[in-house]
Amino acid sequence: MSDVPPKRRKTSARPYHHGDLRRVVLETAAAMVREQKTWQFTLREVARRAGVSHTAPYNHFADKGALLAELAMGGFDALRMALEASRPKRPGAFRDEYFAVARAYVRFGTENPGLYRLMFSQDVGYDVHMSERSVAAFGVMLELLARGQATGAIKKARLRAQAAACWAAVHGITTLCIEGLFEPAIVGKAPVDAALATLFEGLAP
């Protein structure tokens, strides 16, 4: 006869009756990143909060690094969708679309500071940063600038170099905003729009 108390045996069996364990673990970890603005938790802590056994996450993630990598790629998916959704429904001035996409990028980062930091952290690994899902977010910027060049709205230049410069600038603005350093007292009135306008002036033909 087993000497394991009935309650203990029942608890260990719980995750195997869970309808969507992978989703629950991911959502729980995402909530912890959102609340704590960091990812210094353990898989055991994620499991405890999710209400599953401490070994349950290993059914879908080899280790914490694998879980963080999937969270980061989900973040890049969300960023891409936010950038695509920000585009005006009706075609208009290229400058308006540029500002809409750039503001959406900054807004995503400032509204999701923990996730944004994780997405660009070395903790998620090189493979994440080079994955199709992360590169797709950069692709939105590439496509935008390509159309700008084609219509004459911005100067002709090496497209990827131009996109890299824009990405570096917008990423820097976002990071400074997250850290509370991009304040009018430091960089002047309406700092985000002012910085984006200066960047656009550099793109103008």
**Per-residue pLDDT at 46:** 96
Query: Domain residue spans in the chain?
Result: 1-61, 68-203
Q: What is the pLDDT of residues 46-67, one digit of tens each?
A: 999 999 999 999 999 999 999 9
pTM above 0.85, yes or no: yes
Residue with tokens 């090496």: 158
Percentage of residues in the chain having pLDDT higher than 90: 82
Question: How long a stretch of residues is the chain?
Answer: 205
- Does residue 7 register a pLDDT over 50? no
Q: What is the pLDDT of residues 64-120, one digit of tens each?
A: 999 999 999 999 999 999 999 998 877 778 999 999 999 999 999 999 999 999 999
- Mean pLDDT, all residues of the chain: 90
Fold classification of 68-203 (topology level):
Tetracycline Repressor; domain 2 (1.10.357)
